Structure 1
Amino acid sequence: MKKQIRGVLTAVVTPFDPSGEVCPQRLRAQVRRQVKYDNGVFCNGTNGEFFVLSLNEKRLVTETCVEEVAGKVPVVAHIGEISTATTIRLGKDVAAMGVDAVSVITPYFVPLKQSELIAHYRAIADAVPVPVFLYNIPGRTGNTIEPATAAILADHPNIVGIKDSAGSYESLKGFLDAVKGRTDFDVLSGPDHLAHQGFLEGCSACISGLANVSPEGVSLIWKNFRDGNIEKSKAAQDFISGLRKDLYAVAFAPAAVKKAALLLGEDVGDSRYPIVFSDEDLATIRQVVAKYGTVPAL
């Protein structure tokens, strides 16, 4: 049965302890921080640094999120791997933990035809016993899910939607147009600067990395939109778009988000992948935190 997920899901960071290991206790604190603002949880995504986590660590992260959420908000786990078989194996494992859905990026490193992507996603959706979201992020994987391909995959009874993180309004609109009129396939916006516009045009939810920095700010985009206050939703979007512009000028999103959270007093540890912040970078992030650490009255 296809289930709609609405509102905000935070692409929650994966906290590491001082030795660089996944820290469930710190992760639980971050989950509680999101639940406080009614934000759902999207774990093992880009901001969760899935690309430097082992399969067992991804299982641990998912299990921790599901346990801490305890049914209060939706939990979606990203399971995309290069091979179809490994993706299915991980998907079955996290499905047994009680996630509401899974999300799957395209295979990366190897270029694929649209017909091959269709076969890949159909095999996953056939095998994994929870709803599946496609995940389009061509800038990182090198493979693009075309809108026409998404429309074909929407006919599968276990494929419920797509998260588009291509980064442009044109890409997001392409998916919205491709499935226009369908009530059984949802489009989720990935880029934080498109959350409000996405809601206006029919997205059911947004997946936000910046909610790790400003969970309240992102939640207000959705809550004001849901309540019919479009002006306040747009004001919240302008606040988050400013945060995005200033913070992402420093470094690749996961590292910048994590460092900002640290400077806000959140015990999330450092990023695991190679990243070096200069003194100038750190000064800029401190300025960003000082400017956006508190949500203004909107």
Structure 2
Amino acid sequence: MPSTAFVALVTCFDEDERLNLDATRAQVRRQVAAGNGIMAAGTNGDFSALTFDEKVDLVAAVVDEAGGRVPVMANAGTPATYETTLLAKEFDKLGLAGIAVITPYFIACTQDGLERHFTAVADAVTTPVYLYDIPARTQNHIEPKTARRLAAHGNIRGIKDSGGQQETLSAYLAVGRDTGDFEVYSGPDHLVHWSLQNGAAGCISGLGNVMPETLAEIVSAFDAGETARAEAAQERYTAFRTDLYGLGYPPALVKRALWCMDPSVGASRQPALLPDLTQDEAIREILRRYELL
């Protein structure tokens, strides 16, 4: 099967912080042109700053704009199983390729609690469900043995690993190999090629908002068996990641870098990163260095 690169799409806002669906649709078209799939309402999409209804409107607009040309996933995760299930049911009506469910945040969960949470959501919808592990942000981690049990559920199709630990990613990949139908998507931008080489179905990357063509090249070159080209694209991607993320919080910097390229995307909702002339110039210098500006 061809590998798939999903971009964790930014959510665009007006100057008054209202949802800007026209600008978001423009970003969808940009990713479609590069050949990347889309993850809507994820970490890079300011999902925690969106209301329930905004998430539904956002995902509906993204699916409509993509028009079936690339696969679209959306994150339905919230701290509570009840609200997550309600949102997943709304997403279930939209024709998504998958519903991602980030681990609950603020609430400390046992592995049993996580298993019950994901099972309840997967039971409530027909769209395939994907676990979403990002412990640095949620403080809850899906242990590989828990992922293995959940993989036996008929409607839990895979996992997005954004933990950044190669050992954990390897353990998830082992679950995929053993079950044969559990897809693993790598979240860390520097592990895209490595994860593909080790059996991942693809990646879900925030940095692809800024470098969509480079991300697409890593995947297309890998699928074509062109190892040197894939490695060169990954090296460029990793180097840009190192330079940009060295300035601060990655999702905010991705959005700000994209803003420097196209102000129509707007800033993130507060209290996220505020405009800073010194930092903006540092970002622009990095963008110029990589011929993105």
Do they fold alike, i.e. is TM over 0.5? yes
TM-score class normalised by the smaller sequence: over 0.9
In 2, distance between residues paired with 1:32 and 1:58? Answer: 19
Q: Which residue of 2 aligns with 1:93?
A: 90
The answer to whether the aligner puts 1:160 opposite 2:174 as a matched pair is no
Whether the 8 Å CA contact 2:3–2:219 is kept in 1: the answer is no
In 1, distance between residues paired with 2:5 and 2:154? Answer: 24
Secondary structure of 1:125's aligned partner: helix
Q: Which residue identity is paired with 1:258?
A: K
In 2, distance between residues paired with 1:151 and 1:5? Answer: 24
Q: Which residue of 2 aligns with 1:218?
A: 215
Whether the 8 Å CA contact 1:161–1:185 is kept in 2: the answer is yes
Counterpart pick for 2:224 among 224, 227, 230: 227
The answer to whether the aligner puts 1:15 opposite 2:12 as a matched pair is yes
Deviation at 1:69, TM superposition (A): 0.5
Deviation at 1:136, TM superposition (A): 0.5
In 1, distance between residues paired with 2:220 and 2:100? Answer: 24
The answer to whether the aligner puts 1:236 opposite 2:233 as a matched pair is yes
Q: Which residue of 1 aligns with 2:288?
A: 290
> How many residues align structurally?
292
In 2, distance between residues paired with 1:37 and 1:27? Answer: 16
Counterpart pick for 2:123 among 121, 126, 133: 126
Pick closer, same or farther for the CA change 1:278–1:19 going to 2, 3 Å. Answer: closer
Deviation at 1:278, TM superposition (A): 3.6
Whether the 8 Å CA contact 2:72–2:98 is kept in 1: the answer is yes
Whether the 8 Å CA contact 2:151–2:179 is kept in 1: the answer is no
What is the CA deviation profile of residues 168-223 of structure 1, one whole-angstrom value per residue up to 9, with x for unaligned ones? 21221121123323221011000111101000000001001111101001100000
Whether the 8 Å CA contact 2:3–2:223 is kept in 1: the answer is no
Whether the 8 Å CA contact 1:135–1:163 is kept in 2: the answer is yes
The share of aligned pairs that are identical, in percent, is 41
Give me the TM-score of the superposition, normalised by structure 2: 0.96
Please list every run of 5 or more consecutive structure 1 residues that lacks an aligned counterpart in the other structure: none
Deviation at 1:250, TM superposition (A): 1.4
In 2, distance between residues paired with 1:142 and 1:33? Answer: 33
Using the TM superposition, name which of 157-166 and 180-189 deviates more.
180-189
What is the CA deviation profile of residues 200-255 of structure 1, one whole-angstrom value per residue up to 9, with x for unaligned ones? 00000100111110100110000000100011101101101011111111121221
Higher helix share: 2
The answer to whether the aligner puts 1:60 opposite 2:57 as a matched pair is yes
Q: Which residue identity is paired with 2:168?
A: S
Please list every run of 5 or more consecutive structure 2 residues that lacks an aligned counterpart in the other structure: none
